[in-house]
């Protein structure tokens, strides 16, 4: 079925406790244009504000996750760069909003995740890729630079040496190589991508949301702290969890499950 030209560039919907942000320009492999950029920033805010969504998944409609910038719109985007706030500002706002999401974020990646598309995937906490996916950064090849938090995220995910190689060469790597260097967590057959991500999201969503949020925030903050500061932060998070009652309730439930399993094995 052909998509209407009025179809939103990015969609947000929720299925149960899973929120889905869908990049929705399938006819151009979800390539980025200004409408897409503003729509993704808005969808990230909506996902964060949706209290019923325990986990958020970002994915692409059609044959790709996102193939990077829409080259057909480059001349117009160059004109906009005279007022860079209309372009670069919203791109970086996407990164900020996903970073402040307050709940786990999974990227469901297939086809291509190139340039800004790969940057969006890196904003997620976990990346699951379909076999055959191509990933990389082609910015320097087309006279551009990374602008969505990629220079911060990429070396933290794969290390500085591999980050430089990916950024300098502008070469694409396949999903298996991406998994080998840590750019993606897991590679699955394309026909199992939806179900694999859904199962992972539901498993994560079954845990306590406040503790998931504290854990997510703690991991990101700890990467830029020394050990003592990180240990102090962990203590604070544990205290919040204890005062909220989650710790006592959760441990009591686990003890009861263990007791029931032992009783059933007799």
CA distance 116 to 90: 13
| 202 among known catalytic residues | no
1 pLDDT above the threshold of 90: no
Q: Name the band, by pLDDT with cuts 50, 70 and 90, for residue 4.
A: very low
Same domain, residue pair 153 and 242: no
**Residues 42, 149: one domain?**
yes
The pLDDT value given to residue 16: 98
User: 99: which residues sit within 8 A by CB, 6+ positions away?
Assistant: 123, 149, 220
36, 123: one domain: yes
Flag whether pLDDT at 266 surpasses 60.
no
Indicate the DSSP class of residue 14: E
Out of 91, 139, 171, 256, which one is annotated catalytic? 139
Catalytic residue from among 7, 13, 93, 119: 119
- State whether 258 and 176 are in the same domain: no
Residues composing the chain: 266
Q: Give CA–CA dist 62/103, Å, rounded.
A: 26
Q: For residue 3, is it within any domain? A: no
Domain CATH code at residue 54: 3.90.226.10
Residue 28 domain boundaries: 10-205
pLDDT, tens only, 196-236: 999 999 999 999 999 999 999 999 999 999 999 888 988 88
Name the E strands within the chain: 10-15, 18-23, 55-60, 105-109, 112-114, 126-130, 134-136, 173-174, 186-188
**Does one domain contain both 123 and 253?**
no
Give the three-class secondary structure for 117: helix
Structural domain contains residue 2: no
- pTM of this structure: 0.88
**For the segment 88-131, what is each residue's pLDDT rounded down to a tens digit?**
578 899 999 999 999 999 999 999 999 999 999 999 999 999 99
DSSP symbols for 118-176: HHHHHHSSEEEEETT-EEE--GGGGT----SSHHHHHHHHH-HHHHHHHHHH---EEHH
Q: Is 119 a catalytic residue?
A: yes
Quote the pLDDT of residue 79. 52
């Amino acid at each position: 079925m052909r998509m209407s030209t009025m179809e939103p560039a990015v969609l947000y919907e929720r299925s149960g406790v899973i929120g889905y942000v869908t990049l929705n320009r399938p006819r151009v492999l979800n390539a980025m244009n200004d409408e897409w950029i503003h729509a993704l920033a808005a969808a990230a805010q909506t996902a964060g504000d949706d209290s019923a969504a325990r986990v958020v998944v970002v994915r692409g409609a059609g044959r790709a996750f996102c193939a990077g910038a829409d080259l057909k719109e480059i001349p117009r985007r160059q004109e906009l760069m005279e007022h860079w706030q209309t372009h670069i500002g919203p791109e970086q706002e996407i990164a900020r909003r996903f970073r402040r999401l307050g709940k786990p974020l999974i990227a469901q990646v297939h086809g291509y995740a190139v340039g800004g598309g790969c940057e969006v995937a890196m904003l997620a906490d976990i990346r699951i890729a379909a076999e055959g996916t191509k990933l990389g950064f082609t910015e320097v090849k087309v006279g551009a630079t990374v602008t969505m938090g990629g220079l911060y995220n990429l070396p933290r995910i794969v290390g500085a040496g591999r980050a430089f190689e990916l950024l300098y060469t502008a070469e694409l790597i396949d999903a298996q190589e991406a998994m080998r260097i840590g750019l993606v967590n897991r590679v699955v057959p394309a026909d199992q991508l939806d179900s694999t991500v859904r199962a992972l999201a539901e498993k994560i969503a079954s845990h306590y949301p406040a503790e998931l949020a504290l854990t997510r925030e703690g991991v990101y903050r700890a990467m830029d702290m020394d050990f003592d500061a990180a240990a102090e932060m962990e203590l604070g998070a544990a205290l919040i969890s204890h005062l909220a009652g989650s710790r006592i309730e959760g441990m009591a439930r686990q003890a009861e499950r263990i007791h029931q399993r032992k009783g059933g094995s007799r």
